[in-house]
A and B are shown apart, each in its own frame.
Chain A
Amino acid sequence: ETGVTQSPTHLIKTRGQQVTLRCSSQSGHNTVSWYQQALGQGPQFIFQYYREEENGRGNFPPRFSGLQFPNYSSELNVNALELDDSALYLCASSFGTGRQETQYFGPGTRLLVL
């Protein structure tokens, strides 16, 4: 167990809806990164938050947005859901940015878009 928690564990939405996923980072960590993992693929980096600011973004459209709170927990919001957004969403926490050491992953939220 890494101490990183995510909610909900599973979610079903329909196209066009909006979804919010939540992540609580490991104690002492101030950085949260979000990844999307499609079936049979490796995780792909969405964005990272460090001390409540976005600190890097992967190749995802603006309808993917996030927040980090003063307690370093984080949210991932996805607007106008598309079928291809169906995936496992993973968050990972770490201490600091730049040349990061180990990222500790949560169990993920499995999103199905119908």
Chain B
Amino acid sequence: SQQGEEDPQALSIQEGENATMNCSYKTSINNLQWYRQNSGRGLVHLILIRSNEREKHSGRLRVTLDTSKKSSSLLITASRAADTASYFCATDARGSQGNLIFGKGTKLSVKP
């Protein structure tokens, strides 16, 4: 079963615009991670935010976490065509043995 749900399922923007993706989850977590996947290949880790953190930045990425609403958002600023990919949130649920639970992903298309 899948813990998280990303929203929207698909997003199409122009280069230079910002892209925001949201993720909701169901159970208490230790941390939440965002991954990127290009064309059905391997997953690339983008950023990890712990349950006691509210916001984290990495380059053009900004992640927020609201544990009271069980939700997170990923903001990509000044998007580029190379950002075109699927983005997944994954939670490390409390009580688990560290396996990640993924949502279905948001498919981002950035048009040049």
Beta-carbon contacts under 8 Å, A27-60 to B: 31, 33, 35, 37, 39-45, 48, 55-56, 58-59
Write the residues of chain A forming the contact surface with B, with a CB cutoff of 8 angstroms. 2, 4, 31, 33, 35, 37, 39-45, 48, 55-56, 58-59, 88, 90, 92, 94, 97-108, 110
Contact A45 B101 (CB under 8 A): yes
27 contacts between A and B (CB under 8 A): A2-B44, A31-B98, A35-B100, A35-B102, A39-B40, A40-B104, A41-B2, A42-B2, A42-B88, A42-B105, A43-B88, A44-B102, A45-B100, A48-B98, A56-B97, A90-B43, A94-B98, A97-B97, A97-B98, A98-B97, A100-B92, A103-B45, A103-B100, A105-B35, A105-B43, A107-B42, A108-B42
User: In the complex, which of the residues B42, B43, B48, B88 contacts A101, with contact meaning CB atoms closer than 8 Å?
Assistant: B48
User: In the complex, which of the residues B33, B42, B103 contacts A102, with contact meaning CB atoms closer than 8 Å?
Assistant: B33
Write the residues of chain B forming the contact surface with A, with a CB cutoff of 8 angstroms. 1-2, 4, 30-31, 33, 35, 40-45, 48, 88, 90, 92, 96-105
CA distance A48 to B92 in the complex (A): 14
Chain A interface mostly? loop
Closest CB of chain B to A3's CB: distance in Å?
11
CA distance A88 to B103 in the complex (A): 16
Contact A48 B97 (CB under 8 A): yes
Contact B40 A110 (CB under 8 A): yes
User: In the complex, which of the residues A2, A40, A100, A106 contacts B98, with contact meaning CB atoms closer than 8 Å?
Assistant: A100
Contact A99 B99 (CB under 8 A): no
Q: Known: A42-B2, A102-B33. Contact between A90 and B99, CB under 8 A?
A: no
